[in-house]
Amino acid sequence: MVKSTAQARWSLRAGSGQGPAGSEPAATRAAHFADFVRQMPFAAALLDTDLCLMAVSPAWTAEALAPELRAGDDAREGLVGPEDEVSLLRCVRDGEAFSRYLPVLDATGTQRIWRTEFTACRESAQPPFAVMVTARDVTGYAEATLRAERDQQRLRMALEMDKLLVRELDLTTGALTFVGSTPELEAFCRFENDPLDIVHPDDRDRIAAAVATRPLGETGVYEFRLNRPDGQETWVRSASRTVAGPNGKPERLVNLFKDITDRRRQIEAVESLAFRDALTGLPNRTLFQHRFQEAVTASERMGEMFGLIMIDVDHFKDINDTLGHDAGDALLKRLADMLQHAFRSNDTVARLGGDEFAVILRGLHGEADMLRPIQVLQTLLERPIEHAGRSFTISASIGAALHGDPDADPTHMVKNADIALYRAKDEGRNRSVLFQPSMRSELEQRIELLRDVRAGIEAKEFVLFYQPVVDVRSGGGVVGFEALMRWAHPEQGILAPFRFMAAFEDQDLSLKLGDVALETALCQMRAWLDAGVEFGRVAVNISSVQFRSGRLAEEIQERLDRWGVPCERLTIEVTENVYMGWGTDIVSNTVRKLHDAGVMIALDDFGTGYASLANLRQFPIDRLKIDKSFVQNTEDEAIVKAVITLGSSMGMKVVAEGVEDQAQLDSLMQHGCDQVQGYHFSRPMPPTDVPGFLAGFTG
């Protein structure tokens, strides 16, 4: 037995034999109790109020518990250590019980652990008259307890070092137990009613759905943000398991939480580089394709209806070319903001590249769910954008496709939305079109046509025919020709422009055809000049795409110089829509330069666009051309007369197109029209017929 030192002996004896403890009745009671202890069947000992040993049981002696102690000896030295002496004094004086572990070597020299209990012997409220000591061998239990305590300490240290928290919820009592956490993590993993209260509202539905499908007894792993009142973002990874009781019903909910905020931010940073557009912060094409596949999977498994919207900014290249890339970037960021306001937070709004955007809408019930946000977007697009002290507006062409047929292939959605987008562009841009199956065959025909046009340009199959312009006010002579594009198709013969109009709506092909027209006309004019053919002026139509380089005036001047054709021989015809469209400043500056150089400027198809009197004064216009739709409709005679009067008052000559009979000619002459062209005088002719036509023209 481990003994305390001699210094542990106390000279003070409780009560010093005085008072009630030392009275005869108390001593008698102690003596009787000592006889009882000597007969106890378990290890027990009795101390008097002076803490001297009075008696021990046979089991005490058999277990060699303090065998050297004799009756009357101070028992403290063998039974308690110095740290317990205060407790022993309180027990004998105030009746406070206590216990301690007592290490003992048995007969084989093996250490055993005994638990000794010290209990005051007293009657009612009287002072103690003795102290009963009982002992029992708890070697196995003590070692297990100590081992468990060590394991618990190790677990707590490991959890704290790795920022882990173990939370156990007693489902029967609602009691919460926490092990190994930082105080901050523990504070936000508490709840009042529902364990899901700790989950951020934006993540709660997702986690609730996952928990609901987890079988009892299986461990589920989830990642979510904590619901923090201060709004600070804290991500945790939680392993959760419900433990059943003996009756098979859920009894405990055990959660392991780990703070993964730093890891999550690192992942988000990597994902941002891989899956986010650097300029707008929207999902990029890679993430869009991933989200689209998720929508397709949901559609195939659960029959979910979803929609796809493709968006292109109208004339975006013009903005970059004229206002600069800073303005283009500002526009794209503004559009990204508009898209996020127009669509739901759970819709995928992505930037595919350049000015191309796409939106995936999940969980739709019909067309209205998709068309409604499109209308909101179009309203937002009407608001002007401010950049670098300038204000400008944009428009967008929108194509939409809806997948609601479980038997249809949802992977065609992207193509269908693209087809609808092309239709929106074909119909004049700044509009939205919902895909219809008939559009697919029309687009395929259009694509085939454009392919053939490209091949035709390479094969030099596009030529110019010339229609004479007759001056009916100054003698009826031919004053010029309008150059009109024709396609000398190797199989179908000569094709008029309406047969390949789609090519003029394609920016690339329109630019190439415009280049062919201008170059061919100048080459022909040079040939006529060399041959002495007095053709007057040749008018060439200029499309809006040709103005977008900003150098059209210089390019035309360079071509005139190269072919040696005087500026006074060329007329360029521009439609009202070109004047009124995007880039008005560029168009205005270009035509002014050409006009100043001597090139004549004609406003073509006047009355079919949106030009106003203010526009007529703003631009240098020499000729107003009345569209043939007015000339050939007798009900529009008043309009024709008004245009002629307007042109005359502003010093412009008026040219009427589409004159097919004498009655139309007489009416125009009566109203004072200056010049006319149409089938009444001649159909458009190949250049080889022009000299003969001029020689035989009688007016």
Q: What is the pLDDT, as a whole number, of residue 74?
A: 64
Q: What is the pLDDT, as a whole number, of residue 390?
A: 77
- CA-CA distance, 620 to 183, in Å (whole number)? 79
Which tens digit of pLDDT belongs to each residue from 239-272? 888 888 888 788 888 888 888 888 888 877 776 6
Q: Is the pLDDT of residue 404 over 80?
A: no
Q: Is the pLDDT of residue 70 over 60?
A: no
Q: Out of 177-191, 200-214, 451-465, pick the least confident.
A: 177-191
Bigger pLDDT: 27 or 399? 399
Q: Out of 230-239, 474-483, 495-504, pick the least confident.
A: 230-239
Percentage of residues of the chain with pLDDT beyond 70: 87
Domains in the chain and their CATH numbers? Answer: 6-137 (3.30.450.20), 146-265 (3.30.450.20), 278-436 (3.30.70.270), 465-484+519-694 (3.20.20.450)
State mean pLDDT over 77-104.
Answer: 80
Q: What is the pLDDT, as a whole number, of residue 483?
A: 98
- CA-CA distance, 328 to 306, in Å (whole number)? 31
pLDDT band, residue 520 (cuts 50/70/90): very high
Q: What is the pLDDT, as a whole number, of residue 597?
A: 96
Q: What is the pLDDT, as a whole number, of residue 375?
A: 93
Q: How many CA atoms lie within 13 A of 506 on its CB side?
A: 15
pLDDT band, residue 612 (cuts 50/70/90): low
Which tens digit of pLDDT belongs to each residue from 146-194? 565 555 555 555 455 555 777 888 888 888 777 655 666 777 888 877 8
State mean pLDDT over 268-292.
Answer: 85
Q: Out of 421-425, 543-547, 695-699, pick the least confident.
A: 695-699
**Residues contacting residue 162 through CB under 8 Å, at least 6 positions apart:** 258
Q: What is the pLDDT, as a whole number, of residue 510?
A: 94
DSSP class of residue 21 equals G
Which tens digit of pLDDT belongs to each residue from 353-380? 999 999 999 989 889 999 999 999 999 9
Which tens digit of pLDDT belongs to each residue from 539-550? 999 998 898 888
Q: Is the pLDDT of residue 615 over 80?
A: no
- CA-CA distance, 684 to 464, in Å (whole number)? 9
| Of 627, 670, 619, 614, residue with least CA distance to 645 | 670
The per-residue DSSP string of 541-604 comes to E--HHHHTTS-HHHHHHHHHHHHT--GGGEEEEEEHHHHHSS-HHHHHHHHHHHHHHT-EEEEE
Mapping DSSP to helix (H, G, I), strand (E, B) and coil, where does residue 652 land?
coil
The verdict on pTM exceeding 0.75 is: no
Which tens digit of pLDDT belongs to each residue from 568-585? 999 999 987 777 655 677
CB-based contact 167:176 (threshold 8 Å): yes
Residue in this structure with the two tokens 């006319």, named with its chain if needed: 676
| Of 560, 470, 548, residue with least CA distance to 523 | 560
Q: Out of 437-441, 459-463, 529-533, pick the least confident.
A: 437-441
Percentage of residues of the chain with pLDDT beyond 90: 39
Which tens digit of pLDDT belongs to each residue from 596-609? 999 999 998 886 65
Spell out the SS3 assignment of 439-502.
Answer: HHHHHHHHHHHHHHHHHHHHCCCEEEEEEEEEECCCCCCEEEEEEEEEEEECCCEEECHHHHHH
Q: What is the pLDDT, as a whole number, of residue 211?
A: 84
Q: What is the pLDDT, as a whole number, of residue 441?
A: 86
**Residues contacting residue 620 through CB under 8 Å, at least 6 positions apart:** 591, 592, 595, 596, 601
Contacts of the segment 220-228: beta carbons below 8 A, 24+ positions apart:
223/260, 223/264, 224/199, 224/200, 225/199, 225/200, 226/188, 226/189, 226/198, 226/199, 226/200, 227/188, 227/197, 227/198, 227/199, 227/200, 227/201, 228/188, 228/200
- CA-CA distance, 517 to 104, in Å (whole number)? 115
